[in-house]
Structure 1
C-alpha cells in the first residue's frame, strides 16, 4: 500500500507543470545578454547619492538623491530608452515630499476643459471669495 502511495506522489511530482520556467529569459528566442557600458555610482552614506549607467542597447539612467525634510530621499533623475520605431523615449522625474512627478512627451495629457466648465469654475471661485457656502445637497447655506 505504501508503495502505491509513493508511486502516485512521484507521478504527480513528475507531471506537475514547471511554473516559471516558461518565463525564464533564457527560454525566449529573442533573449540575449545586454552589456552595461557605463556604470557610475556614489553613495556618501548621509543620504546624498548619485548614479548613472548606460547599456549597449541605448538605455540610459541617471539620478541624484539628497536627504529630504521629512526623512525621505529627494531624487531628481531621468531615463531614456529606444522605442521599436527607432526614436528615443525620455522621462525626467522628481520624487520628493510632494510625491513623484514625471515629465515626458510620452505621458498622455487630458484634453482641455470646455469653455462652460472654465466659466463654472470662475463663478465658484467668485462665490467662495464672497463667502457663499453650499451644503452637500447643493443648497446655499445662509449664515447670519
Structure 2
C-alpha cells in the first residue's frame, strides 16, 4: 500500500509539472549581413557643465559625431545639439547628413533629403496679388 501511495504521488507530481508550459526568453542576435563590423574609433566625453560630445567610426565606413550643451533656463532650457553622420548606401552613394536639434526641433541638412517641388507660377502670381491688394479691415461688432 505504501508503494502505491509513493508511485501515485510521483505520478501526480510529474503530470502537474508537465501541465505547466515552460517559457524562456527569446534569444535575439543582431548581426550585419556582412558579418561582424569592427569599431575603429569611439570616443565620448561628458563635462560637469552638462555639455557632451561623442563620435565613432566603423570598419564599413559609418561615421557619426555629436556635441551638445545645456541651454540656460532663462532662454528656454533643454539641450541643444549639433552633429553629423555618414554612411554608404547599398547603391554605393555616400549619404552625409548634418543636423541641429534645439528649441526649433530637429533640422537635418543633406543633399539626399527630398525637397518640395517649386511653387507653380499661377500660385506665385496669386500670392503677389493678395499681398498688393489686402482685404479691408471690417469691425464685426458694428
Q: Which entry has the higher C-alpha Rg, 1 or 2?
A: 2
Match of 2:77, SS? coil
- CA distance in structure 2 between the partners assigned to 1:20 and 1:105 by the alignment: 41
What residue number does 1:137 align with?
Answer: none
Distance (whole Å) between structure 2 residues aligned to residue 89 and residue 99 of structure 1: 22
- Offset from partner CA, 1:34-76 (integer Å, 9 cap, x none): 2111112221121222221101110000112122232111111
The more displaced of 97-106 and 30-39 is 30-39
Query: Contact conserved, 1:64 with 1:77, CA < 8 A, in 2?
Result: yes
Secondary structure at the residue paired with 2:126?
helix
In the superposition, the TM-score normalised over structure 1's length comes to 0.71
Q: Which residue of 2 aligns with 1:132?
A: 136
Shift of 1:31: 5.6
Q: Which of 54, 57, 71 matches 1:54?
A: 57
2:28 corresponds to 1:38: no
2:96 match: 90
Q: What is the distance in 1 between the residues matched to 2:132 and 2:65?
A: 45
1:76–1:94: 8 Å Cα contact kept in structure 2?
yes
Structure 2 unaligned regions, length at least 5? 1-11
Q: Aligned in 2, Cα 1:20/1:101: closer, same or farther, shift over 3 Å?
A: farther
CA distance in 2: counterparts of 1:123 and 1:80, whole angstroms: 44
Taking structure 2 as the reference length, the TM-score comes to 0.72
What RMSD over aligned residues (CA atoms) do the two structures have, in Å? 2.7
SS at match of 1:25: coil
By how many angstroms is 1:19 displaced?
Answer: 8.2
